[in-house]
């Protein structure tokens, strides 16, 4: 399947499908299993240096949809299909010192698969910039091929971390300056979709040395409340907080974000994430400009795979390969970004009359 080989940010992936930073990549055991199954790369569950303690209850729920009521719910019912994941999980609670030998062993066992370390620290002080550097250096020293900066975790109380910093161009710049001064591998920046300044944030990241933008992390969202019990579908002591929506429900919104960035920066790299379950979703990210594809919810949901998508990666590879072969393409590069010029201003789409100019008053 040589058509699947993809060069992205200077790294060669044997196929463009990688497991996103999340439970499928939270341990050595799962990552080794994922490589055995055929994933081209992985982004580790985000590694940090600050204290992490998750909620005293389920960290993730899977919401399913059906023809019959309730339409969307985590409640187990016959004949439902996947709608989304909702989670309020924090970053990895495995300390850096335990990650390092694991990462080294993973890289030694699978030297040709790409291991990207996701890292996160705070901002606003030299100490926090040093934390970014320390994390990046440590992971690169044990063989990681690239670093992904988590500027998008939607579950942080700390105002100097995760999605809370993705609106601050000065912080984006200073973190990139710190990390690029510490290591020389490609730096991917994972941004939150939950900002109206996404294109500006991406522009600053690229200008400050980011090799790629990874998009999207989950969308901030709330779980549903049951009208009978007055309970949220996930809660602890009756309380809930903003969590992240992933899976099919975010596909179209993720595509819009990727398209916005790809149109603004057509020559830059984008890693597409959000709602990929099969070839068609992956295809859509590529035509909008993504050069590789990250998957989380669909892998977690696959029964019997230990949450790493064993059947999923086989299908993704087979279906993409079959498509490229049938259409005579030698790689995804030949279809990457082909939709870009067809996404236009509203008024550029033909009306029945020729005079419409976008809602402005017509000159008299
Ligand atoms: C339970 C869970 C935990 C996650 N943890 C992280 C994380 O530690 N770091 C990160 O960058 N993204 C994290 N994510 C976000 C995913 O990497 C991904 O961006 C998101 O789920 C959208 O992809 P999907 O629609 O394929 O699920 C997490 C997602 C889920 C569902």
Question: What is the structure's pLDDT at 363?
Answer: 66
Q: Separation of 139 CA from ligand 1 center, angstroms?
A: 20
Measured CA to CA, the distance from residue 355 to residue 359 in angstroms comes to 10
User: What are the pLDDT digits (tens) for 288-326?
Assistant: 999 999 999 999 999 999 999 999 999 999 999 999 999
63 lines ligand 1 (CB under 6 A): no
Evaluate if residue 103 carries a pLDDT over 80: yes
* Average pLDDT over all residues of the chain: 96
Measured CA to CA, the distance from residue 275 to residue 297 in angstroms comes to 7
Evaluate if residue 364 carries a pLDDT over 70: no
Question: What is the structure's pLDDT at 358?
Answer: 84
Is 139 considered catalytic here? no
Question: What is the structure's pLDDT at 359?
Answer: 86
- Determine if residue 359 is left, alpha or beta; phi over 0 gives left, psi from -120 to 50 gives alpha, anything else beta: left
Sign (positive/negative) of CA torsion 241, 175, 52, 253?
Answer: positive
3-state secondary structure at position 41: strand
Q: CA dist 356 to 83, 128, 246, 341, 364, Å?
A: 38, 53, 38, 21, 14
Question: What is the structure's pLDDT at 24?
Answer: 98
273 lines ligand 1 (CB under 6 A): yes
Look at ligand 1, atom 21, and give the residue with the nearest C-alpha.
Answer: 246
Which residue in the list 139, 153, 216, 296 is annotated as catalytic?
Answer: 153
80 lines ligand 1 (CB under 6 A): no
Q: CA dist 332 to 3, 6, 87, 105, 328, Å?
A: 8, 7, 32, 31, 11
Question: How many other C-beta atoms are found inside a 10 Å radius of the C-beta of residue 9?
Answer: 21
Question: What is the structure's pLDDT at 240?
Answer: 97
Asked if 118 and 45 touch (Cβ cutoff 8 Å), the reply is yes
Question: What is the structure's pLDDT at 167?
Answer: 84
- Proportion of the chain above pLDDT 90, given as a percent: 91
Question: What is the structure's pLDDT at 291?
Answer: 98
Mean pLDDT of 20-42: 98
Evaluate if residue 1 carries a pLDDT over 80: no
- Determine if residue 289 is left, alpha or beta; phi over 0 gives left, psi from -120 to 50 gives alpha, anything else beta: left
Question: What is the structure's pLDDT at 20?
Answer: 98
156 lines ligand 1 (CB under 6 A): no
Question: What is the structure's pLDDT at 212?
Answer: 98
118 lines ligand 1 (CB under 6 A): yes
CATH homologous superfamily of domain 2-54+90-348?
A: Aldolase class I (3.20.20.70)
User: What are the pLDDT digits (tens) for 149-169?
Assistant: 999 988 989 999 998 888 899
Evaluate if residue 362 carries a pLDDT over 80: no
Mean pLDDT of 114-125: 97
Q: Separation of 214 CA from ligand 1 center, angstroms?
A: 11
Q: For residue 320, which phi and psi values (nearest 5 degrees)?
A: -65, -45
Question: What is the structure's pLDDT at 302?
Answer: 97
Pocket test for ligand 1, best of 21, 189, 255, 275 (most atoms within 8 A of CB): 21
DSSP bridge partners of 243: 221
**Rg, the chain, Cα only:** 21
């Amino acid at each position: 399947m040589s058509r699947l080989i993809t060069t992205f940010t200077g790294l060669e992936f044997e196929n463009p499908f990688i497991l996103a930073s999340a439970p499928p990549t939270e341990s050595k055991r799962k990552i080794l299993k994922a490589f055995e199954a055929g994933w081209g790369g992985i982004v580790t569950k985000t590694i940090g240096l600050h204290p992490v303690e998750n909620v005293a209850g389920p960290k993730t729920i899977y919401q399913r949809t059906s023809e019959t009521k309730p339409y969307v719910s985590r409640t187990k019912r016959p004949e439902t299909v996947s709608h989304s994941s909702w989670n309020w999980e924090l970053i990895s609670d495995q300390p850096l010192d335990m990650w390092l030998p694991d990462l080294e062993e993973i890289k030694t066992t699978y030297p040709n698969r790409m291991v990207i370390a996701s890292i996160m620290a705070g901002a606003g002080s030299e100490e926090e910039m040093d934390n970014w550097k320390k994390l990046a250096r440590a992971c690169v020293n044990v063989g990681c091929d690239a670093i992904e900066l988590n500027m998008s975790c939607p579950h942080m109380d700390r105002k100097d971390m995760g999605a809370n910093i993705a609106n601050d161009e000065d912080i984006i710049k200073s973190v990139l300056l710190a990390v690029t001064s510490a290591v020389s591998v490609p730096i991917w920046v994972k941004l939150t979709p939950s900002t109206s300044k996404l294109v500006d944030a991406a522009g600053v990241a690229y200008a400050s040395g980011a090799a790629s933008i990874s998009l999207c992390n989950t969308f901030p969202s709330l779980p549903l409340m049951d009208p009978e019990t007055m309970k949220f579908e996930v809660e602890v002591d009756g309380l809930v907080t903003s969590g992240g929506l992933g899976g099919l429900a975010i596909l179209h919104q993720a595509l819009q974000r990727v398209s916005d960035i790809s149109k603004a920066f057509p020559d830059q790299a984008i890693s597409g994430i959000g709602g990929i379950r099969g070839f068609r979703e992956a295809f859509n990210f590529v035509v909008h400009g993504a050069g590789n594809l990250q998957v989380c919810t669909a892998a977690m949901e696959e029964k019997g795979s230990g949450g790493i998508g064993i059947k999923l990666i086989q299908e993704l590879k087979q279906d993409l390969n079959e498509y490229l072969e049938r259409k005579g393409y030698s790689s995804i590069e030949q279809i990457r970004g082909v939709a870009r010029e067809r996404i236009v201003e509203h008024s550029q789409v033909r009306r029945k009359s020729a005079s419409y100019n976008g809602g402005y008053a017509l000159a008299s």
